[in-house]
Chain A
Amino acid sequence: MKHSKSILAGLILVAAVIALTIGYTAFSTSTRVTTLSGYAGGEKIGFLEDPETTELLQKKYHLKLDYSKAGSLDMVTADQTGRDFLWPSSQTALEYYKQAVGKPVKSEIIFNTPIVLYTRKAVCDALMKKGIVSTDGTVYRIDMKQLAALISSGTSWADIGLTQLYGNITVGTTDPTKSNSGNMFAGILANTLAGGIANEQNIDDVLPELQDIFSRLGYMESSSSDIFDQFLRTGMGAKPLIAGYESQLLEFAAENPDIWSQISGDVIMLYPTPTAWSSHVFIATDEAAVPAIEALQDRDLQKLAWEKHGFRTGVSGAAADTGAFTGINLAANVDSVVPLPDYPTMAKIIAALRNNS
């Protein structure tokens, strides 16, 4: 009696397990998540790692983006076996991809952010005294032409009153032959020196001075996120003035409000005149990655990208709302934006800087 009861209980258990298994299989098939693998620039990692981002992509679009960090230009030539997408930070990288690999399955600009310079209050004050930096009380602008002249002439920090800093004035950038922010900064400098948009005709006149400026930089970081992290952590002595993206400080302030409130008086964002947009263009290298383009343009995701990660989007209209950030010298509208030189010109710049050493 007791024996047959336990057999019955066993059968019920087996049936329950089978039912659960069938149910689970059906459920997981309907919500199966496609994992896409690719390369992304370091400055977008905060966005990609944000639990709200991953949750929204997974729940609404059944997508998971698995990435490796790589410089925007490096990723074009990196081994792309098993990779579904590249997400560099510029149109130049897309053009480079078209040259090196071919036409992508699909590509689309997802975010924009301007190139800015970051510095410390003491440096900003010294540059203001020289008339290189100006402010309307909120936004700080730096005149690229005067800055280039200061660097080219071998002026030291001490010469502009910063005796605590050793060496000559330079701008720290990532390696322009590998990473986008350094590359774009080189493009902006080329535009500045050419007095407009540098092109294939006038670039040769500009290259010697451009090479001279970059030859003064020595070892260059390969990632925009690394150089920004070092700017904040190693202090004014190691990185008095660097080039980066506007989004980087906005994201840092949103993610670390306590730290930001302690250092906001000392860290200054400078908008170069002229500057350029870094366009974060998503390149689908196979069909599987195409749905990610639509997903990344999701209204909620774009709002999140601005408010938590500082990427201007232009889709939701949220970009104009600077109220989300406090204590940052943020411009509601970025003006003095000049297009970067076209790809053949940028290729010449990259080649010249690659042969610099």
Chain B
Amino acid sequence: MTKKTLLSLLACLCLLPALLLGGCGSTDGSGSGSGGATVLGSGSKKLRIVSGSENKELEPILSDYANQNHLSIEMTYMGSLDIMRALEQDDFPYDAVWPASSIWLNAGDENLHRVKHAESISITPVVFGIKKSKAESLGFVGKDVMVSDILEKISGGELKFCMTSATQSNSGASAYIGFLYALSGHPDVLTSADLDDRTMQENMRGLLSGVDRSSGSSDWLKDMFLAGDYDAMVNYECLMISANNELVKEGKEPLYIVYPSDGLALADSPLGYIDHGDSDTEQRFLDFQNYLLSAECQSKIQRTGRRSGYTGINPENKDVFNTDWGCQPDRVLSTFKMPDTATLAKALTLYQTALRKPSLSIYCIDYSGSMSGEGNERLVEAMQQLLIQENAQKNYLQASPDDVNILIAFSDWIQDEFRAEGNGKELDALFEDVQNEGIGGGTNMYLALDQALSDLSEYDLSRYTAAIILMTDGVSADYYDDFKKAYEQSGCTVPVFSILYGDADDSQLQQLAQLTNGRVFDGRKDLTEAFRKVKGYN
């Protein structure tokens, strides 16, 4: 396999795009904004860690350790793709790295060989979670279920589910590879030839058309699931347990966890040290890692629904893995074989360009006066990364032939609307339009959102993963109530993903996120990065 193949593979999976601004409904923009770190403890000695955002759930444990040892633990949450890329740079301003899977650690460190002392901190499998009553009616409770049994129900229209994007998130990729095995008749190892099979491709396309909602992040998929009304999702066992705790607290029906008997994928959460030649920091890291691996701390980590330790789950923690929810704490976690990297890369390209449910993306872009100059330059740069396909390819964000991209240029009126259906020259033309659009006037994002709703009504939304991607740099006069009414009347459940820029009002965007089960992304430090992440959700 060539280095290029590997690199393109590496450029494809991003576990949990972080650097995001809060979650749905969150109005707290501090601490987790682009480039910012969450600081745990207040000691003068620092430990700077780049981590997958799934480790947010471990913050109370980390915080206690930091306080007891007079440390400041700086957690910078990034997706694994970003972690991998950061590892490839000469300048890596962190002491430690903690992605969800060792694949990203090995890949990012392939050339510089800087990671030391890497140890798996916990283990969690990727599983299906299905509303218990639904799981019962489908006959999935209390027996061995194969991926193909689940796929049959999805194909038959009896089950819809949410999963993360296979090219953006580890849990989505893991599920997708599992599907490929099932649809290819369970080969020993998935090969390039298996992927070329037309019948398999057709079946997979049918299957992925049953995806209700997508996401670029496993953690956010869980939040979205909780805020919406869905039947099933594919996610980590620990996030299913966390979701169920929430559901039960709210008096709602929990999810029943299904472990496909034809193989699981495991996330092994490795924590490694990056040597900058400071032995004090190295010792600090080792002490911290030893603590995480101590019997005492491993037990605490198990309380968060993660499996850990050499001897399985401790008796005192078995209750966390509630068997009424289908949890099988003593199950032998038998895995399917990840294909070699070249095949994996091919599988992901196939997903992105041909098999996934087509995207319907409506970009509502602010061309008000304040965007002139730097704002507009940043915007053009960002859109160039998404629309020009050779750029998009680097992040596995290519369009498929059935994708629809719409640009609504707004200020205090709808200036223009452009449409690109397909993944050829029309996208280049759309990029031209992005560049040529005039700038001036005030800001009224609600007008653009209304227009987006009317555009959406022209499409059969069951055929698309649809999203409104709103970028604004100013405060709009408050027409939220009018938009809310229109949105609710439309009956559509398309999310608004907003990108905060310039002087935009975070609370206005959070309102939209809450209403539409969407999310706010902070583009103030790096607009291109924000657009890239948003696109990963759609």
Contact = CB atoms under 8 A, between A and B. Distances in A.
A and B physically associate? yes
Interface string A67-88: 0111000000011000000000
Given A164-B332, A234-B266, A154 B188 contact: yes
A168 B188 contact: yes
B45 interface: no
B99 to A, nearest CB: 14
A219 B311 contact: no
A221 B270 CA distance: 14
A interface SS class: loop
B269 to A, nearest CB: 10
Interface stretch (B22-30, B115-123, B517-525): B115-123
A80 to B, nearest CB: 11
Contact of A235 (B102, B116, B312): B312
A22 B171 CA distance: 62
Contacts of B103: 219
B268 A357 contact: no
Contacts of B264: 237
B361 to A, nearest CB: 32
Interface in B414-465: none
Contact of A165 (B117, B190, B334, B339): B334
A175 B249 CA distance: 47
A230 B268 contact: yes
A39 interface: yes
A218 B191 CA distance: 9
A219 B174 CA distance: 13
Contacts of B338: 218-219
Contacts of B119: 229
A150 to B, nearest CB: 13
B106 A221 contact: yes
Interface residues of B, number: 43
Contact of B120 (A45, A49, A164, A230): A230
A285 to B, nearest CB: 16
B475 to A, nearest CB: 50
User: Which of A164, A166, A222 has the most chain B CB atoms closer than 10 A to its own CB?
Assistant: A166
A233 B341 contact: no
B262 interface: yes
Nearest to B282: A49
B339 to A, nearest CB: 5
B106 A78 contact: no
A317 interface: no
B106 A223 contact: yes
B312 A166 contact: no
A69 B332 contact: no
B312 A216 contact: no
Contacts of B246: none
Interface string B321-345: 0000000000111111111111110
Contacts of B120: 229-230, 233-234
Contact of A357 (B116, B188, B337, B342): B342
Interface in B360-398: none
B106 A216 contact: no
A217 interface: yes
Contact of B189 (A49, A69, A216, A223): A216
Contacts of B261: 166
Interface of B: 1, 102-103, 106, 110-111, 113-120, 123, 188-192, 261-264, 266, 268, 310-312, 331-344
Enumerate the 10 nearest inter-chain pairs by beta-carbon distance, A residue then B residue, closest first: A218-B337, A219-B338, A237-B334, A68-B113, A237-B333, A166-B334, A218-B189, A237-B332, A164-B332, A238-B335
Given A167-B188, A235-B312, A357-B342, 10 more contacts: A69-B115, A78-B113, A167-B334, A218-B339, A219-B340, A219-B341, A219-B344, A222-B106, A229-B120, A259-B311
